[in-house]
Amino acid sequence: MTKAEAMAPQVGDEAREPRQSTLSHWFNPILVKEARQAASSPAFAGVLLTLIAALAGWTIFTVAMASPTGGWGRSLLLGYACILSFVMLVIVPWMAHQSMASELQGNTLELLMMSSISPGQVIRGKLHSVMAIAGTFFSAMAPCFAFGYLAGNVSLLQVLSFLATVLLASWFLSSGAIFLAALRRVSPLVVFFGLGLVQIAGGIAFGLPVWFLAQLESSTATWRWLHVEHPGVAISVVAMALAAISLFNAAGAASLTFPAANRSSPLRWRLLVLATTAMVFLVAMFEAFVFDDEPVVVLSVLFFIVWLGIGSLLVAERSQMSSRARRAFPASRLARIPIAWLIPGNATGYLFAISVVWAYSLVVAYLFRRPVLSQIYVIPLILFVSASYYTLFLGLTRFILVLLRRRTPRAGFGTSFCILAVLLVGGHFVGWACDFYSLYPFTQASFTMGGFLSWPRALEILLTTQTASLPMGGVPGSGPAFVPVLVGSLAALVVLLTLPAAAAQIFAPTTPVPHAVEVATLSRQPAKPTTDPFAD
């Protein structure tokens, strides 16, 4: 057969088609490829065999050492839980990271990016394939857990809750690992944030299973979170985890996309969902349990600090959309109004970030509207001043960045984050120097005249956990009354000054500039006639 004949359709091909793998036609191609790779990978087989050996070993050891009076079922289950946690929370996320990292290091990602697969499909495919592998590990352990359940004195709800938590935590960690592996440009700032992310994600993901393990070991487990009277808490935790996974996926896909593409809108959607689920969690917790003020302030400070990071990312966006990004939005200006905050740009990003923070503040203020010390509404006032500080500082950051970019066009997220940090620390120093503590943002100390401000504390503002756990000393509400008015007014002024820029970004012309015009503008030298082989 000649090569040309080979390329032509063959008679009888239809009849010879194998019937296999019909179902796989509709799967994500990455999932199919990774599954095939795993099936013939010695590493996967090694982990699976080790897992089975560990399970068998633990079962034999526990049964051999069991006392005749019984009670060994709980120990058996505890051992299984530890083995499963290690595999699902360490091995599986590591495999996820390696899967994505090898694609980048092995120079195979570009082959994918020039195909019809979208960056989002690449990330989802990697995550799904890793979770399919996790499912294999899970299924290998299922008989052991069934045995442990039958032998031990634990409820089915406990076992299922643990398994569900580990699965969710593994999914969450794996998506975070893929996101970190997908980062193309690794700068010191990225490493810093990456470590922070690993710390937070790891803390949350490990914390929950450990908590469940503690509950499993304890014979007096209360299982309040899963109590039928408070399903909202568990549901909101799951919703938050899913929203975070979705955000990781979108961020991973964005890092594989060109800066000229619209990377902002998908991230903003997911940030919005994540913030909403966080607020739902807070409301559910408030409905389920009686809250003191202190945890709420700590949660609020954390929320604000997280959004400072997100805000500095959003205000670092370019003010002008690329032609590729513009094409993704409706031409009608009317149609753009409902999606105004999702349109890329630093001014719309700023409005998006402060809107989320103000919405959160309103929700929490409504929940904690009760008066303290019979004078003022402490929590609402703290939230008002903190949100005003946030609005003011982030707005100033945007303005400074816009001015900086006139000289240094490449200034981006790192610069905006540094400006914001300088503003925060600067505000602290000004407050300290003027003996005017209300300028110390995001702590209840803003409302006290008590003297717990010092040099070490000034540096500690950079440490989020310390800031969140600052002592709640002093008498709330004894600060100068004009401070909230002043800070609130300045914040409103900054928002007003941002509105024209936001309008310009929202209503930017959609229709791409015709090629001919672009070329005529950009190339000063007209192309020579093609008959001259020495064009140019």
Partner 1 sequence: MVDPTSTATAIEFRGLSRHFGATRAVDNVSLAIEAGSVCGFVGPNGAGKTTAMRILSTLDLPTHGDALIDGMSVVLDADRVRPLVGFMPDSYGVYKNVRCHEYLDFFARAYGLVGRERERRVRQIMEFTGVAQIREKQMTALSKGMRQRLCLGRALIHDPKVLILDEPAAGLDPRARRELKDMVGELASQGKTLLISSHILAELAEMVTEICIIEQGRLRAHGRVDEIQRHVAPDQTIRVRLLDDPARLVTWLENRPAILEAQQESDHVRLRVPQGDDAENASLLREMIEQGFQVVEFTVQQKSLEDVFMHVTDGVVQ
Q: Which residues bind partner 1 (CB under 8 A)?
A: 1, 3-4, 6-10, 13-14, 17-18, 22, 25-26, 29, 32-33, 36-38, 40-41, 102, 106-108, 110-117, 258, 260, 323-324, 327, 512, 515, 518-519, 522-523, 525, 527, 530, 532-536
Whole-number minimum distance, CB 16 to partner 1, in Å?
9
Structure tokens at 492: 């409103």
Residue 293: closest CA among 178, 380, 202: 380
In whole angstroms, give the CA distance from residue 248 to residue 243: 9
Q: Which is nearer to partner 1, 115 or 320 (CB)?
A: 115
Q: Which is nearer to partner 1, 27 or 206 (CB)?
A: 27
Whole-number minimum distance, CB 4 to partner 1, in Å?
6
Q: Which phi and psi angles does 168 have, rounded to 5°? A: -65, -45
Facing residues of 372 across strands? 376
**Per-residue b/e over 139-176, b at no fewer than 16 CB within 10 Å?**
ebbeebbebbbebbebeeebbebbbebbbbbbbbbbbb
Structure tokens at 136: 């294999």
Residue with tokens 């800066």: 259
Whole-number minimum distance, CB 106 to partner 1, in Å?
4
Q: Which is nearer to partner 1, 19 or 455 (CB)?
A: 19
Q: Which is nearer to partner 1, 260 or 372 (CB)?
A: 260
Whole-number minimum distance, CB 513 to partner 1, in Å?
10
Q: Which is nearer to partner 1, 11 or 150 (CB)?
A: 11
Q: Which is nearer to partner 1, 229 or 536 (CB)?
A: 536
Residue 268: closest CA among 342, 330, 322: 342
Q: Which is nearer to partner 1, 222 or 525 (CB)?
A: 525
CA distances from 255 to 93, 247, 267, 307 (A): 19, 12, 11, 20
Q: Which is nearer to partner 1, 332 or 525 (CB)?
A: 525
| CA angle centred on 91, ends 85 and 93, rounded to 5° | 95
Residue 444: closest CA among 420, 423, 468: 468
Do the beta carbons of residue 274 and residue 249 sit within 8 Å?
no
In whole angstroms, give the CA distance from residue 500 to residue 17: 62
Residue 92: closest CA among 128, 54, 56: 128
Whole-number minimum distance, CB 125 to partner 1, in Å?
10
Whole-number minimum distance, CB 96 to partner 1, in Å?
16
**Per-residue b/e over 42-69, b at no fewer than 16 CB within 10 Å?**
eebeebbeebeebbeebbeebeeeeeee
Structure tokens at 393: 């500082």
For the chain, how big is the Rg over CA atoms in Å?
28
Q: Which is nearer to partner 1, 106 or 456 (CB)?
A: 106
Whole-number minimum distance, CB 247 to partner 1, in Å?
24
Whole-number minimum distance, CB 124 to partner 1, in Å?
14
Whole-number minimum distance, CB 45 to partner 1, in Å?
11
